[in-house]
Structure 1
């Protein structure tokens, strides 16, 4: 039987037993940030076993893509050295969710192995948990296995657990004796290639609590797993998995590229390692993983570098693994079509990573030889932790690669010493980051100590100003700028730096005295406000009522930049591929920085496409929904993006931009994409192998960017004409976009306006840079109002600007005049104005009373119309 026939016969067998044949889950678990890779067939059913999920079927079977490279399922060291371990493999499995149990699982396993696949019964052994008499008896009663081939083992081999607590139960494994003389009885569970496990039947019947006590589950489940590569080798009469047709085409391709034969231990090990590793890279990248400096990305990088080093053993010095990807996809795309669909990007990623590492691999190998020479001279067999760390830090050698090289030469490595140097490097990095944050003014480098456990309620999603009681006051600190007083409020509108978004600034008003809030520290449960002032700060005390006001202009700029990072993330995934994942960000008032996983420079054409897509979403004026305190499992069901390594609580916040973007995020955002204004990419570049960075601006930042360009033109003599044309083009684009945006906003105002009879009333605050722009918006409003009164207000240079419009029918029919109306409103704000009956403007200086004045305006307009 070919491997394809074996796989299909397994699925057909269980389809005949009324099992739903389900698709393999991705090897990159997108809905489980606690799991590095999918490492077992049961992963996609974990919610069912935990009792928090259900399916519309109670029997299932599949072939699951799996990767095992870390934790208790770490097979990396054995891969290529032995003949039956792999980093990537398929797991054939069948499941029962509260339906059939031990008798059916055992009967069907025996039926498939001995009646369908015709495996010799005398070569099969069944193991059971030492206390599982039921399974032992069922094997004897329901099958014709030799009773002496039923063996009992303890918890280590025959008791399955999902974790330290939770669902668990005994398991029954089926092993095959591959010895020539059938002498393998004593070799079961000994980890030797002559007697190997081919199928594990897990009976999930208990729940283990924190005390270790086992109690019966309300429903019992079956979870089985069979290594596809192993069973193919067995059924094809091969002693090595790598000799089956699952691997032979891949190994033949490696032999072709290297000009070497699959002969001799050194060549065979190298080719087995490379074949396995290319399969792992192909499937993991196809499912969204990318090589990187940490977490899942670093696993891919380790695997690729290990493969590259074994390529050197075959004389392959130029990038070669990417050339093997097509062989893997051709072999397996019929079952897993996604690998062929994404083959080109897989090849590009692997090639780029090979090229990057190739530059340092040869030099690193030279240093390795120098270290060995020094060890020989000093008559020592152990490489120091410092020497191993140098290879890691300078030449990118993962520890397991250095260990492999050392082992080949009969040497060992001081692993604890290496870990010590690695930890010291991490501490230095954290210290440098902390110092950098202090230098940037997060907390001014102050040693802030709060001798209080007072809690803070954050209300800054909905309000930028609040009255609150002081919950705690810390010790005053003297600085060059003045005195700093740490203060904790019962509730605050101030956002504390998190998720890349920097902290708010603003002011406190206490007993008619205003203090600047220059920074924040603490944590989400206790936000510490750093008040800057003079000796009057001594009057600030516990339980005092204060007014806390966030710098609204600055916050709005930050929110524009934060929301646009979500649009940018999605646009990057659309243009470059779904392998793109956020790798870091900075969200400030003046700019944003977005780091993401990608393997090559983003072309100017792609950057233009990305920028255009973001601006299109801004122009579409899409509502931004902030789902707060959503249960984590519910957020997963919504489809929110999540990534391995991120920490999530029981409840999370989710930002949704229609059907375009859905991400976990606790930051602050605009309510509509139109409020972003404009988006402009300023730069794109590399910050590390496999990680790129985009810097961009929005709203006012775009105007400032254009202003900077203008100043550059004035300074530079050459290229003036070209730069001026660029500025004009940008200004024209800005005006066009601004007009389109304002049209959308005005239409929304009219559509949602209050009606008095046939007439409508529009009273609204808008963003405008000057009075001319505001008047232009007034003209548009008057055009859209067939009958009605409108008032638009804007804060310009910390002053109030007003424009009032009245439709022709109301001017002639009711003698309502815009000049008189706007004059009344302006007077309330300490200003004045006037104009034509149809359109009039006014200015005032009391910005703080604007909301109250607009409310009065609405009532005034109603009186005029009734």
Structure 2
């Protein structure tokens, strides 16, 4: 058996299947394109799903890939198992070969055996095959074609060896190839054997799925007319076998991460529990790098939430190893050194990936302290509750599952960490309650994904038009065409669309399927075309166009006059002005994308866009707001490209050739083998199906109107071009001219005049503050001089002129100071209407000696404010409130005077039962 490195194993696998006539297809991103039902790409077959379902045709019938996969979140979630076993990962590579109606079981099994035994050198006597219990065909192939003895062909049930894409649809038996790692890896179970034990001795290295049936809703299996093959072999697993490594983590694909941790922390790595944090961090660092490289950023929902949990889990275990500052970002170069040749984007985006990880880890370390505090509080409550119930020491009850889930969900605490902290206090965690809360979250996530992925009308419409051939889009070359109406269906009806033979003004909106369609269907961020469809008998206004799941383009229209019938010859005409405006904005979007990458760096990748005739919106990855200088430079670069009037060319080519030639493939978009490339002469080259200007000069002018943040690490630019930009300049010019007229100056003098007015205003405000302070001093003196003496105590009550609540507090402080300060036995109660005269404010202050004796300012101020139609409260020594009835100011103050006076008189007589005390019976 040869000791091959991970990169060489991948290369040999792909070369082998290339030699067997397979098309070697590049890995798709870890974010599935066009499939909202999947959080992440979790298997090699994901990118071929539509091919297996018969919805997509490829120019090849057999393929091989090495697919980047993530299993964390959703149905396939290995997150909490990572580090505990030798073979679970959040990120891994799946080597796979596929047949789309070409070869089947015989060839698939022969290929797998030949590659493993002859090409990679695995000992044949250490391999066992499992098959589905009823798959006699596979059993015969293994025994007769391969020569495996009967005892090494193990039949298992549906749970282990029958695969399905869902409850209904394609499905079939599978055969798994198991490698015997030897008795030293065996468990102590009584039946340690293939099919009876899942211990580390029996390692599944390759799974071959034979999709040969279609299962209906009643469970009936019907043979597929074109059976397919889908296989998967984990690169990390086969590497552990070929390298003689005791686990995946000791292979050359993962050990460098552990070595770095050992060197950096000075701690020893062990394969047992003591090595758990090392394995978690090694896996998670790699996973984070690839997820971020494919366009995901940490957030509180969907894929971003999963990324955040992975990253924070790694950071938490970094604390276990002694890290007190962000460290994960330092491991990103290791990813590039191991896998950069195969996946160059992790090297090209290394700085960006590091900055995202470092920022998120720093934020988490800030919240981790708070999370630990919350965990301690929850555990203390649980301990106290169980002690109160008289439970014996050493088993003080349990932490509620909902609390454990809150820690897990909000602070990223792994459940095992919470269980460890609980065990230290003699508690257990209500694991069942935790799982219920987790399942509830999964249910909500499933519903959200299903809602996002469903378009009932489009699916229903596709079903109605199933017999119609896919129509042809001719709108790249011409804006009108003579064609025929193939079908008409109602639109927007609650019961769903239905086919009709004809439509008139009374029909309402309809979907129209044309033989040829010049209208661009909404997609790729570009708004749909509008226009008209007319015949000699009727005319309809086209309000939109959309592409159905099967590729047909339908237009949405309303008949304005006459009638349109199925079979009518019609003239379909696009609104040319609207199309040209949209094209200008789309070309400007490409120029903006290039300019942002040039100014900010290659990490400034598009994450979303909207192109309409009126404006463009562009979302991109970046860490913070653009400076005014950066905005200006981006704007200048785009306008320089416009002024140079460069040609804009579109061509169709193979996807691999386009990407190899430098074309940018956008995050989240799904591409076929043939793609359209829009090339702006040496400036920009992107895969794009949208409509564009013929030259950059047609864009006219480009103006950014806003730049803002829309989430963690995401920015948004909105801009206008052409006539819209000109109109915006005119509005700005008119506003500036109006300001000049109001300021009685020339337009060029407006900034200087505004600065002058601001300086004058600031001077007036200072003078106003000085006068208010002087008035407050005078008012304070007057109110203090009129203060009542009640035994040893002083009570000052006063009404003032219009004043803010802050002004009232300042006067109150001065009155209190004149009466002896906070240490004397004083009470101050003030009120004043607000400066707009619509409300009234109150402030009450009670000195510390009186607070200690039971008088509470907050209780009294609430009573005072209620008289004036308001409410409020505060501390025992200082409180404020407001009311809606300024006319009740005097009455309210007298109410407060009476309450405070009564309390002070009681105290002066030596009483202790204050009517404004903090006791339950007081105010």
Classify the TM-score, shorter chain: 0.5 to 0.7
Structure 1 residue 57, shift from structure 2 partner: 8.1
Mapping 1:74-113, distance limit 5 Å: 74-95=77-98, 101-107=104-110, 109-110=112-113, 113=116
Structure 1 residue 272, shift from structure 2 partner: 0.6
The 1:500/1:335 distance shift into structure 2, 3 A limit, reads closer
CA distance in 2, matches of 1:153, 1:253: 42
3-state DSSP class of the match of 1:90? strand
Structure 1 residue 135, shift from structure 2 partner: 2.1
Mapping 1:20-39, distance limit 5 Å: 25-28=26-29, 32-34=33-35, 36-39=39-42
Q: Work out which of the residue numbers 184, 196, 205 in structure 2 matches 1:199.
A: 205
CA distance in 2, matches of 1:290, 1:38: 16
Aligned equivalent of 1:125: 128
Structure 1 residue 275, shift from structure 2 partner: 0.3
In the TM superposition, what whole-angstrom CA distance separates every residue of 1:397-449 from its partner, at most 9, and x where no partner exists? Answer: 45xx4545434443545565578799999999xxxxxxxxxxxxxxxxxxxxx
CA distance in 2, matches of 1:137, 1:551: 65
CA distance in 2, matches of 1:134, 1:472: 50
The 1:43/1:275 distance shift into structure 2, 3 A limit, reads same
Structure 2 residue 188 is matched with structure 1 residue 188: no
CA distance in 2, matches of 1:647, 1:336: 19
Structure 1 residue runs without a partner (length 5+): 429-458, 465-470, 475-485, 507-516, 530-539, 725-866
Structure 1 residue 85, shift from structure 2 partner: 0.6
Structure 2 residue 620 is matched with structure 1 residue 596: yes
Aligned equivalent of 2:221: 213
CA distance in 2, matches of 1:56, 1:472: 39
3-state DSSP class of the match of 1:315? coil
Aligned equivalent of 1:611: 635
Checking the alignment, whether the CA contact within 8 Å between 2:53 and 2:170 is kept in structure 1 is yes
The 1:121/1:338 distance shift into structure 2, 3 A limit, reads same
CA distance in 2, matches of 1:217, 1:364: 57
In the TM superposition, what whole-angstrom CA distance separates every residue of 1:286-330 from its partner, at most 9, and x where no partner exists? Answer: 444444554444433332122122222222232111101112322
Checking the alignment, whether the CA contact within 8 Å between 1:329 and 1:340 is kept in structure 2 is yes
TM-score (ref. length: structure 1): 0.59
Checking the alignment, whether the CA contact within 8 Å between 2:311 and 2:361 is kept in structure 1 is yes
Structure 1 residue 82, shift from structure 2 partner: 1.6
In the TM superposition, what whole-angstrom CA distance separates every residue of 1:816-847 from its partner, at most 9, and x where no partner exists? Answer: xxxxxxxxxxxxxxxxxxxxxxxxxxxxxxxx
3-state DSSP class of the match of 1:74? coil
3-state DSSP class of the match of 2:269? coil
Aligned equivalent of 2:418: 406
Checking the alignment, whether the CA contact within 8 Å between 1:583 and 1:597 is kept in structure 2 is yes
The alignment covers a number of residue pairs equal to 662
Q: Work out which of the residue numbers 346, 349, 352 in structure 2 matches 1:345.
A: 352
Structure 2 residue 157 is matched with structure 1 residue 179: no
3-state DSSP class of the match of 1:180? helix
The 1:92/1:388 distance shift into structure 2, 3 A limit, reads closer
In the TM superposition, what whole-angstrom CA distance separates every residue of 1:719-743 from its partner, at most 9, and x where no partner exists? Answer: 978979xxxxxxxxxxxxxxxxxxx
Aligned equivalent of 2:398: 381
Aligned equivalent of 2:710: 687
Aligned equivalent of 1:827: none
Aligned equivalent of 1:321: 328
Structure 1 residue 265, shift from structure 2 partner: 5.3
The 1:339/1:685 distance shift into structure 2, 3 A limit, reads same
Structure 1 residue 126, shift from structure 2 partner: 1.5
Mapping 1:73-472, distance limit 5 Å: 73-95=76-98, 101-107=104-110, 109-110=112-113, 113=116, 119=122, 123-143=126-146, 145-163=148-166, 164-166=168-170, 168-180=172-184, 186-189=192-195, 192-202=198-208, 204=210, 206-208=212-214, 210=216, 212-218=220-226, 221=229, 223-263=230-270, 267-379=274-386, 381-383=398-400, 385=402, 388=405, 392=409, 397=411, 401=413, 403-408=415-420, 409=422, 410-412=429-431, 413-414=433-434
Structure 2 residue runs without a partner (length 5+): 387-396, 423-428, 449-473, 481-488, 493-505, 513-517, 532-540, 548-552, 565-572, 753-923
CA distance in 2, matches of 1:375, 1:270: 28
Structure 1 residue 202, shift from structure 2 partner: 1.8
The 1:288/1:682 distance shift into structure 2, 3 A limit, reads same
The 1:563/1:55 distance shift into structure 2, 3 A limit, reads closer
Checking the alignment, whether the CA contact within 8 Å between 1:101 and 1:220 is kept in structure 2 is yes
Checking the alignment, whether the CA contact within 8 Å between 2:408 and 2:415 is kept in structure 1 is no
CA distance in 1, matches of 2:374, 2:644: 57
CA distance in 1, matches of 2:274, 2:714: 34
CA distance in 2, matches of 1:543, 1:562: 35
After alignment, is 683-692 or 164-173 more displaced? 164-173
| Structure with bigger gyration radius | 2
The 1:624/1:327 distance shift into structure 2, 3 A limit, reads closer
CA distance in 2, matches of 1:239, 1:335: 25
In the TM superposition, what whole-angstrom CA distance separates every residue of 1:630-685 from its partner, at most 9, and x where no partner exists? Answer: xx9xx9999996654x899x9xx99967685667789x987875453211224434
CA distance in 1, matches of 2:344, 2:398: 49
